[in-house]
């Protein structure tokens, strides 16, 4: 009996290892057979995360490998057309790189920008999703010669409703001109393809040496409803709302802004 006990223990251990090996092999085959996300599914996932909001930056990184959008419209407060485009790719894990081309605050010219984003909180583990972005723009809100921006993006989903907010600080490399932005969005899922909500942004000059004759803006506001619809490999979006722009000591100019956009994701 004494000699049989080690043999039985070895046999039981070998059987357990064999069962674990069979289970792991089955799980591996299941994972290999799991279907990859299709192009339309990637677009739907990006739209649901708020990737195509015109004014608020989403806090999630890695929902898709790459995404981008192009939008254009008109703002009667500045009496100029508006254009915005971006392309973003996940570099590794929670890190992504983004490039963008947008009109400046007055709508007179197109200006490029580049940013690095990193997500450091996830709602499933931390209760909220959050990311930080560091960007350089060829022209900022009040910095015509270039701006360095830092953006904190925070979001949380409640069932069909997604709430997002951004806090941004920007300044020129010398630190002489500064500005801040606050944006917030609410996006409600009507279906797997359609979303409707509100998106708004306020931009404010923080420069201490602004003069009364300066032509740089003091503040700008844009807020209104948004709508997006995923149609196969594309997402169509629309934004319309009220806008305001104030320069120096002049009274603010009020107007209406309207934008249409198309985006995709992979």
CA distance 226 to 86: 18
pTM of the full predicted structure? 0.84
**Residue 189 · residue 48 · CB < 8 Å:** yes
pLDDT at 248: 81
Beta strands (DSSP E) in the chain are: 66-75, 80-92, 95-103, 110-121, 129-137, 147-158, 161-171, 178-189, 194-205, 217-231, 234-247, 253-265
Q: Kindly report the CA angle at 62 between 60 and 68, in degrees rounded to 5? A: 85
CA distance 119 to 98: 14
CA distance 27 to 33: 10
pLDDT category of residue 214 using cuts at 50, 70 and 90: low
pLDDT digits (tens, 9 = 90+) for 65-100: 999 999 999 999 999 999 999 999 999 999 999 999
CA distance 224 to 66: 27
pLDDT category of residue 250 using cuts at 50, 70 and 90: confident
């Amino acid at each position: 009996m004494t000699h049989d006990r080690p043999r039985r223990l070895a046999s039981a251990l070998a059987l357990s290892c064999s069962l674990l090996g069979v289970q792991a092999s089955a799980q591996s085959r299941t994972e290999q057979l799991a279907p990859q996300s299709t192009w339309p599914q990637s677009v739907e996932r990006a739209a649901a995360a708020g990737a195509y909001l015109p004014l608020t930056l989403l806090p999630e990184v890695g929902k898709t490998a790459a995404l981008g959008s192009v939008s254009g419209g008109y703002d009667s407060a500045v009496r100029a057309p508006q254009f915005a485009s971006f392309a973003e790719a996940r570099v590794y894990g929670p890190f992504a790189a983004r490039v963008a081309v947008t009109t400046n605050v007055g709508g007179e010219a197109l200006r490029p920008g580049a940013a690095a984003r990193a997500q450091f909180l996830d709602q499933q583990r931390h209760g909220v999703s959050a990311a930080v972005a560091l960007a350089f723009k060829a022209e900022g809100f009040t910095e015509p010669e270039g701006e360095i921006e830092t953006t904190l993006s925070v979001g949380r989903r409640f069932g069909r409703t997604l709430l997002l907010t951004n806090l941004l600080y920007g300044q020129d490399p010398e630190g002489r001109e500064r500005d801040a932005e606050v944006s917030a969005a609410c996006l409600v899922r009507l279906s797997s393809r359609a979303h409707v909500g509100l998106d708004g942004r306020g931009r404010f000059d923080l420069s201490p040496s602004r003069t009364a004759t300066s032509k740089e803006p003091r503040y700008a506001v844009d807020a209104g409803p948004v709508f997006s619809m995923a149609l196969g490999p594309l997402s169509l979006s629309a934004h319309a709302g009220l806008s305001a722009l104030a320069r120096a000591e002049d009274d603010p100019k009020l107007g209406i802004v309207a934008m249409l956009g198309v985006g995709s994701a992979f």
